[in-house]
A and B are shown apart, each in its own frame.
Chain A
Amino acid sequence: MSSQDIPEENLPAEQDEHGAVSVADEKDPFADPGLPPHEHRIQDVDERAAKRSERTVAMLFTVSMLATVGFIAAYVAIPVDKSVYIFPLGHISALNFALGMTLGVSLFCIGAGAVHWARTLMSDVEVAEERHAVQSPPEVKAKVLADFADGAKESALGRRKLIRNTMFGALALFPLSGVVLLRDLGPLPENKLRHTLWSKGKLLVNMNTNEPLRPSDVAVGSLTFAKPEGLEEHDHDFQTEIAKAALMIVRIQPDNIKDKRELEWSHEGIVAYSKICTHVGCPISLYEQQTHHALCPCHQSTFDLSDGARVIFGPAGHALPQLRIGVNDEGYLEALGDFEEPVGPAFWERG
């Protein structure tokens, strides 16, 4: 089956010019020697090899057909919720795996068959095609310019300036209608970003238990998330309200609180800060109890909760707003007002 079996008459002509390594062109050894002669593939000269290629291509196409049948069978036979263990992938959806693999094989084999066919059986003789300059010849350009001049002259656009100017005016103005139509995409900001649901007397409700918090519920070193009383998950505007009102509560030994105002606004060392990062608004959720550092997992802004939540690392531009809290007559933690400054990312009107 090797090339030694190839009948003499099918062998390519001797490649004397090509085989020579010596420089042919004495004048310019770097001159373009022209397209090298075509080298025959085994399939070009040996019909048996060509047959083998044909069978390979046909086999690939057949495998593709079988895989498509397999795809349909898998779709019908495998329940959508069946999970299967496949090494080394672990437990995965059986249907997804079966459909994906059969589809993959059926498509890949079509492609592999076509490419193998092209590479082994279709002609691989390289041919040259002429390129033509993209630029138009001068006479074409002259004709176009003349045509254009005629058209422009006939339109009298240059002569009748009144028409030209009013037309430009009309064309420039009409897109404004489209811009105006965009006005109702949303309401104006007004001072919406300055206010949250918090106000004097609102209880701090534990996010997890949905119960109002007492000072005794907040242990030193713990991190508690709270929402304002009255805001329920089922509320229509819950997402928009919690995006501003989300609160994180920690308890720090009062002696460890370095910032004077922070201490004033706290209750027995319990401090409440906005949970929304002042960088671009991710919820801050990592707290290191030893250092009192809170870290935003999105962009790693780090705030020192024992020092007015000032930024100690990362891209945030200012401290987290603190909520002033106290305890009501029944012993529940309550807000003593809204945040004094806007929560979340900074914006132009923030000031």
Chain B
Amino acid sequence: MSTTETTESRSRGKAPAGERVADWADGRLGIYGLAKANMRKIFPDHWSFMLGEVCLYSFIIIILTGVYLTLFFHPSMNEVEYHGSYVPLQGQLMSEAFSSTLHISFDVRGGLLIRQIHHWAALVFLAGMFVHMMRVFFTGAFRKPREINWLFGFLLFVLGMFTGFTGYSLPDDLLSGTGVRFMEGAILSVPIVGTYLSFFLFGGEFPGGDFVARFYSVHILLLPGIMLGLVVGHLILVVYHKHTQYAGPGKTNKNVIGMPLMPVYMAKAGGFFFLVFGVIAAISAIATINPIWAMGPYRPDQVSTGAQPDWYMGFSEGLIRVMPGWEINFWGHTLVLGVFIPLMIFPLVLVAIAVYPFIESWVTGDKREHHILDRPRNAPTRTAFGVAWMTWYFVLLIGGGNDLWATHFHLSINAITWFVRIAFFVGPVLAFVITKRICLGLQRRDKDKVLHGRESGIIKRLPHGEFIEVHEPLSQEQLHTLTAHEQYKPAEIGPLVDENGVERKVKGSEKLRVKLSKAYYGEESQIPKPTVEEYKEITSGHGHH
């Protein structure tokens, strides 16, 4: 039996080498099945879909450069006298962590470049995740079936923040040490266990001799390990769910329109990795980041002015700066509200955006899958909430840099602090109201466009002297695109008495849901989209422009 098979295949000539390798792998891994499903997988094209790619690629860059840095970095707080090639610090006492970072920056050829690529890529990674998250949020891409992937992404953002913080704390320079001190002070404010947590984290009193080594294992192993797992899960889910797409001709909730992975997206996405890496390398060539040699080694009794964390920690810095210094002393204990409240609001700010998808799906009660993206204007309440959240975040960022705002714009630091204190409460509300109005305005404009056509800019004079502007009717593609979105109807509580006259009990949560639903989809919150009847009435009427 087997001999006949071999002779048969020989008679057809030997398969090419690539095919034989693939055969070998298929016999062990079943790769043909995998490739059948995925090799020509369709991905839709839109610039905003690249934002997630930027994050993925900068994450890979961070891992590559990070591994290189571990070859030279000594995660030790042993005090040594510096005798390296950076003259201004010679003879100074510093930790080995700091001196090995100087060594990387001044003695290892290309070490400075890799350090700067690592740090720049981290900033790009976090910024990319922020913008990517906002894209997903404002287009409603988080809806079923993608809620879990939203949470994966959210966790990546939060873990990315802490990986960044533990990373920039490693060189043990004056700036990062100040940040670690801030963290220690914040931990101390936790009621009952704060002092213990601080002593366990630092191996005793601050700064002690342990935290660099401890942050090191958290920064290079624990957090990136979890993140790598989440990234893989995130990508598997993207492939499994297939990508979302914007409404348009031919695009439905049941299909995905685009170009195949092989070859188009292999080239585009693969090429984009090199573009991202290339740009970050060029930035690192010309823009110094975290010049620890200019700040010097950490000393708990020294500080520089204008101390700022990396941008993604800025909002927590803002929280702690603008909070009034409330302290309550009772029964021999101190409740450090001035620090503890910001410490608690810090995760709340993040969780507010993380749980939103679940609130929205509860309000709509919609159990269907959604693969067509919303235009932000067509979901005014969601968009307004997102902008309100961003306003909150950016107001806090201003608070985190209140000293820089004061010195750069010659403003009073007290005035800025008071502005942030008030804007923390008022800003999001204003942003919500304004955004909603803008969304409704844009919806009205879309409706106008559909019913009356596009403003052509051509002015026509009628025989009796009247001037009118010529409106051009839209093509069917445009008409479809502008009317493809769904509009929810606000939920009703239903009759409170059933057909037998017995009173029906309505749960409080149901009442709240109906109320929210009215706020979301009531008359005030969306402009009814044009109907076919309206369109026909207007277009058939002669003499109408």
Instruction: Using A96-B112, A301-B325 as known contacts, say yes or no to A36 and B249 having CB atoms under 8 A apart.
Output: yes
Contact A30 B284 (CB under 8 A): no
* Interface check A158, CB cutoff 8 A: no
Contact B271 A118 (CB under 8 A): yes
Contact A130 B254 (CB under 8 A): yes
Q: What range describes how many residues of B lie at the interface?
A: 35 or more
B334: contacting residue among A23, A182, A348, CB under 8 A: A348
CB distance from B395 to the nearest CB of A (A): 16
Which A residues are CB-close (under 8 A) to B199? Answer: 186-189
Closest to B483 in A: A30
Which B residues are CB-close (under 8 A) to A318? Answer: 325, 327
Which B residues are CB-close (under 8 A) to A346? Answer: 188-189, 327, 334, 336, 339
A123: contacting residue among B191, B242, B259, CB under 8 A: B259
* Interface check A308, CB cutoff 8 A: no
A314: contacting residue among B325, B333, B535, CB under 8 A: B325
Complex alpha-carbon distance, A238 and B182, angstroms: 20
Contact A351 B300 (CB under 8 A): no
Which A residues are CB-close (under 8 A) to B282? Answer: 100-101, 104-105, 108
* Interface check A212, CB cutoff 8 A: no
Which A residues are CB-close (under 8 A) to B265? Answer: 118
Contact A188 B196 (CB under 8 A): yes
Complex alpha-carbon distance, A92 and B285, angstroms: 9
Query: Which of A166-174, A250-258, A292-300 is found at the contact surface with chain B?
Result: A292-300
Which A residues are CB-close (under 8 A) to B336? Answer: 317, 345-348
Contact B267 A122 (CB under 8 A): yes
Which B residues are CB-close (under 8 A) to A148? Answer: none
Chain B proximity mask over A226-263: 1 for CB below 8 Å, otherwise 0:
01000001101011101110100000000000000000
Contact A114 B200 (CB under 8 A): no
Chain B proximity mask over A330-351: 1 for CB below 8 Å, otherwise 0:
0000000000000011111111
* Interface check A25, CB cutoff 8 A: yes
CB distance from B188 to the nearest CB of A (A): 4
Complex alpha-carbon distance, A280 and B477, angstroms: 60
Which B residues are CB-close (under 8 A) to A58? Answer: none
Which B residues are CB-close (under 8 A) to A135? Answer: 369
Contact A280 B320 (CB under 8 A): yes
Complex alpha-carbon distance, A311 and B483, angstroms: 60
Which B residues are CB-close (under 8 A) to A93? Answer: 112
Contact A127 B42 (CB under 8 A): yes
* Interface check A56, CB cutoff 8 A: no
In the complex, chain A residues 207-234 whose Cβ is within 8 Å of any chain B Cβ: 207, 225, 227, 233-234
Contact A279 B257 (CB under 8 A): no
In the complex, chain A residues 17-65 whose Cβ is within 8 Å of any chain B Cβ: 21-25, 28-36
Closest to B474 in A: A21
B325: contacting residue among A97, A185, A279, CB under 8 A: A279
B200: contacting residue among A182, A246, A275, A348, CB under 8 A: A182
Contact A80 B532 (CB under 8 A): no
Contact A350 B279 (CB under 8 A): no
Contact A128 B476 (CB under 8 A): no
Query: Which of B102-110, B384-392, B441-449, B459-467 is found at the contact surface with chain A?
Result: B102-110
B278: contacting residue among A99, A108, A207, A347, CB under 8 A: A108
Contact A240 B204 (CB under 8 A): yes
Contact B307 A129 (CB under 8 A): no
Closest to B256 in A: A129
Contact A282 B178 (CB under 8 A): yes
* Interface check B489, CB cutoff 8 A: no
Instruction: Using A30-B483, A240-B206 as known contacts, say yes or no to A280 and B182 having CB atoms under 8 A apart.
Output: yes
Which B residues are CB-close (under 8 A) to A298? Answer: 178, 182, 303, 307
Contact B306 A297 (CB under 8 A): yes
Complex alpha-carbon distance, A29 and B534, angstroms: 11
* Interface check B419, CB cutoff 8 A: no
* Interface check B427, CB cutoff 8 A: no
A103: contacting residue among B113, B240, B252, B369, CB under 8 A: B113
Complex alpha-carbon distance, A89 and B192, angstroms: 52
Which B residues are CB-close (under 8 A) to A25? Answer: 476
Contact A108 B321 (CB under 8 A): no
B145: contacting residue among A92, A118, A134, A286, CB under 8 A: A134
Which B residues are CB-close (under 8 A) to A105? Answer: 278, 282
* Interface check B264, CB cutoff 8 A: yes
Closest to B268 in A: A118
CB distance from B332 to the nearest CB of A (A): 4
Complex alpha-carbon distance, A311 and B326, angstroms: 11
CB distance from A280 to the nearest CB of B (A): 3
A297: contacting residue among B42, B204, B307, B483, CB under 8 A: B307
Instruction: Using A81-B106, A112-B275 as known contacts, say yes or no to A133 and B369 having CB atoms under 8 A apart.
Output: yes
In the complex, chain A residues 285-324 whose Cβ is within 8 Å of any chain B Cβ: 285-286, 297-301, 311, 313-318
In the complex, chain B residues 153-167 whose Cβ is within 8 Å of any chain A Cβ: none
In the complex, chain B residues 448-472 whose Cβ is within 8 Å of any chain A Cβ: 450, 472
Contact B267 A124 (CB under 8 A): no
Which A residues are CB-close (under 8 A) to B369? Answer: 133-135
Contact B145 A189 (CB under 8 A): no
B195: contacting residue among A129, A133, A233, A349, CB under 8 A: A349
Which B residues are CB-close (under 8 A) to A327? Answer: none
Chain B proximity mask over A92-126: 1 for CB below 8 Å, otherwise 0:
11011111110111111111111101110011111
Contact B329 A115 (CB under 8 A): no
Complex alpha-carbon distance, A350 and B181, angstroms: 18
Other than A96-B116, A185-B201, A192-B204, give 8 A-B pairs with Cβ distance below 8 A.
A80-B106, A114-B270, A193-B195, A280-B186, A298-B178, A311-B325, A316-B338, A348-B190
| Sampled A-B contacts (17; CB under 8 Å) | A30-B479, A89-B286, A92-B288, A101-B286, A105-B278, A110-B278, A114-B268, A127-B259, A131-B371, A185-B201, A193-B195, A242-B299, A280-B320, A298-B178, A301-B325, A347-B198, A350-B329
